[in-house]
A and B are shown apart, each in its own frame.
Chain A
C-alpha cells in the first residue's frame, strides 16, 4: 500500500512541477496585470482596495489602540522628567500669547469693520469630522495613513485632513468605515499654496522626502528661508489659509518646505468638509494627481 502510494507520487512528480510552474506564471501575470490596471486608474482596483481596507478597519482600530496608549505613557514619562522647565517655558509662551491676543482682538474688530464696508462674500466655515489614525503606510514607497471614518461619517474624496499644527494631507480613497489620507510628503501629493507674506502662488509637490518642494513657481519668484506657506484655496478643494509649513532652503532654485506637522504624533485628525456654495459635488471626486510631466 505504502509502496504504491510512493510510486504514484513519483509518477506525479513532473506533473506537480508543471502545475507549480504554471501557477507561478499565472500569479506573476496576475500581479503585473493588477499593477497595469491600477496604473491606468481602474475603478475595479480601487474598489478592491477600499473593500479590503474597509473590512480590516475594525481590526486595525482595536490593534492600533495599545500602541497609541504605550506612546502616550512614554510621552507622559518624558514630560514628567522636565516638568519644571516645561512650566517655565509655558509661562513665557503664555505671556507672549497674551500680548498677541490683544493684537488679534484689535485686528479682528478692524477686519470686521472693513468686511462690512466692502460687503465681502465670506467663505463658508468648514464643518469637520474628527477621526483616529488606525494605520500607516509601513513601507518605503507611499506616505499615507488610514482613518477610522468613511462615507458613513460624511468623509468624501478630496477633503483636507488637518491637526492642530496644520494641513496633514487630503482624502484620496474612502470606504464606508475607513478613509486613506495622502500625506503632503507623498510622491503624488500636489497642493496649491501661496506664500503668506508675498502671496506668491506655487504648487507644493511631495517627493517622499520629509521636505516637499515648491514647483510651478512664477518666474523671478523669490523665496526666503522662514517664509510661511499656507493653502491658497485655488481649485476650491481646500479651504484657503491653512498653515502648511515654512521654507527651509532654496538650493539650486528649488525651495523646500518643512511641514509644521509632526509626522510621528499623528493620532487624531480633523477632516474638513469644505464646500464652496455653487460648486457641483461632482468636482470633488478627483483622484490623486499624477506625477509631474
Chain B
C-alpha cells in the first residue's frame, strides 16, 4: 500500500508536467537548429502548449505561471520583455473563457480553435512589436511562423496528449 504522503508528493510532481513542458518548449525555441532561414519562422511552441493545457488542464497551468514562462522566453529570445508574456496570457484567457466550446469535442474542433487563436496571437504580438520599435515590423516571417505553428499543431498536440495520458491520468 502506498503511503499517503508519498502519493500526494507524486501527484504534485506529476502536476508540474504542463509547466515543465511549456518551459522546455520555450528553451527549445531558442536552440539554434541551423536549418536555413528557420530562426525567424520558428513555430510558436509555447502558444501551442498554453493553448493545449488551457483546454485540458487549466488547473495545472495558472495564469501567473504562464506569465512567468512568457517573460522567460522574452528574456532568452531577446524580444521586448513582456511581449510573449502578454500574448500567452491573452491566449489562455480566451481559451478558458471559451472552454465550453472545446469541452469533449473532436480533435478537429480543437485544431479549428487553434486556427482562430493563433492568428489573433500573431496579430497582437505584431501590433505590440510595431508599437515598441516604433516602425512596422516585417509581416512575412510572422506569416510563415503562423503557418508552421498551425501545421505543427496536430503533431505537438498528439505528443502532449500522450504525455497527459501517461502522467496525468491518475491525477
Binding site for B on A (CB under 8 A): 20, 23-24, 27-28, 30-35, 38-39, 45, 48-49, 52-53, 56, 59-60, 63-64, 67-68, 71, 133-146, 180, 187-188, 207-209, 263-267, 290-291
Contacts and interface: CB of A to CB of B under 8 A. Distances in A.
Contact of A133 (B32, B64, B86, B137): B32
Interface in B72-94: 72, 74-83, 85-86, 89-90, 93
B61 to A, nearest CB: 13
Nearest to B33: A67
5 contacts: A35-B81, A39-B132, A60-B27, A139-B79, A267-B34
A141 B8 CA distance: 43
Given A39-B80, A135-B76, A136-B30, A264 B35 contact: yes
A53 B82 contact: no
Contacts of B35: 264
B13 interface: no
Interface in B131-171: 132-135, 137-138, 141-142, 145
Interface string B27-71: 111111111111111100000000000000000000110010011
B21 interface: no
Contacts of B40: 137, 139-140, 143, 208
Given A34-B82, A35-B86, A134 B32 contact: yes
Contacts of B125: 141
Contact of B137 (A136, A137, A140): A140
A141 B137 contact: yes
A35 B80 contact: yes
B67 A27 contact: yes
Interface of B: 27-42, 63-64, 67, 70-72, 74-83, 85-86, 89-90, 93, 125, 128-129, 132-135, 137-138, 141-142, 145
A188 B138 contact: no
Contacts of A60: 27, 30-31, 76
Contact of B79 (A32, A53, A133, A141): A141
A67 B34 CA distance: 7
A289 B28 CA distance: 29
A59 B89 CA distance: 26
Nearest to B32: A136
A34 B89 contact: no
B39 A187 contact: no
B80 A38 contact: yes
B82 to A, nearest CB: 3
Contacts of A63: 27-28, 31
B93 A137 contact: no
B66 to A, nearest CB: 8
A64 B75 contact: no
A263 B41 CA distance: 14
B132 A53 contact: no
A33 B80 CA distance: 12
A67 B31 contact: yes
B37 A140 contact: no
Given A35-B86, A49-B81, A140 B41 contact: yes
A59 B27 contact: yes
A68 B132 contact: no
B134 A291 contact: yes
B138 A28 contact: no
Contacts of B28: 63
A263 B33 CA distance: 12
A31 B31 contact: no
B138 A209 contact: yes
A27 B32 CA distance: 30
A133 B33 CA distance: 11
Contacts of A45: 81
